[in-house]
């Protein structure tokens, strides 16, 4: 155990956590999702992930402001798009089942 601890300093561990957080950002995860994923898949204490994330936010304020804003816009767009698609499906199904459409050929 002594050999491995000398090669994995606290700084290199923090750097690894930072790298994993950056991967989470690529997948558009929230801080909470990232904390959960790193805890589950990399056995990293959520407090460490949260601390490193907070430091990254401090060092890269503009990036994180844009990231969060963009994520919120995508969620809103997704909800609006879902509503639009559902309304179109309802509209299309009511046109398809309309009595006038089914009986036009018979008249």
Output the tens digit of pLDDT for each of the chain's 107 residues: 344 444 579 999 999 999 999 999 988 888 999 999 999 999 999 999 999 999 999 998 998 888 888 777 776 666 777 777 778 778 877 766 655 555 555 44
Global pTM reads: 0.60
Query: Token pair for residue 1?
Result: 């155990």
3-state secondary structure of 45: coil
* Torsion 104-105-106-107 (CA) sign: positive
- For residue 8, the 8-state DSSP code is S
Query: Token pair for residue 100?
Result: 């006038």
Q: What angle, 0 to 180 degrees and rounded to 10, lies between the N-to-C axes of helices 31-42 and 46-59?
A: 140
């Amino acid at each position: 155990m002594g050999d491995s601890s000398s090669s994995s300093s606290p700084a290199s561990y923090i750097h690894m956590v930072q790298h994993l957080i950056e991967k989470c950002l690529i997948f558009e995860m929230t801080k909470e999702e990232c904390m959960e994923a790193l805890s589950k898949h990399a056995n990293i204490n959520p407090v460490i992930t949260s601390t490193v994330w907070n430091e990254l936010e401090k060092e890269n304020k503009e990036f994180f402001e844009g990231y969060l804003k963009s994520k919120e816009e995508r969620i809103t767009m997704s909800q609006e798009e879902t509503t639009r698609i559902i309304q179109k499906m309802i509209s299309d199904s009511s046109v398809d089942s309309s009595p006038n459409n089914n009986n036009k050929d018979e008249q």
